Amino acid sequence: MDQMQSKIKTFLSRFFKGHDLQPEEDIFALGFVNSLLAMQLVAFVEKEFGVTVGDEDLDLDNFRSIRAISEFVARKQGAPVEAAPA
């Protein structure tokens, strides 16, 4: 697990008490994902990694697991600040 994934795991672990979240684990399948987590997750990703989550990024697959989030962030970091809408 790289540094980015460690940060994501630390953030998400607050929502999954007593569970050792694995990089590939589907956080939606685990339950407990509600609008509170959803909006905090967006804010966390933006603030921690300096990317902008836009409407074109509203896809559960971008946030489904630690690995999915890290890959999404990596894609955004390599993309223009405000990507064209899909």
20 vs 55 by CB, closer to another protein: 55
Give min distance, CB of 47 to another protein, in A.
5
Give min distance, CB of 10 to another protein, in A.
12
DSSP 86: -
In whole angstroms, how far apart are CA 34 and each of 3, 72, 78, 83, 85?
26, 20, 29, 26, 25
DSSP 63: S
* Candidate residues 21, 23, 25, 44; the one interacting with another protein per rule CB under 8 A: 44
The footprint of another protein on residues 11-30 (CB under 8 A) is 11, 14-15, 17
Return d(Cα 21, Cα 48) in angstroms, integer: 19
Give min distance, CB of 58 to another protein, in A.
4
Amino acid letter, 8: I
1 binds another protein (CB under 8 A): no
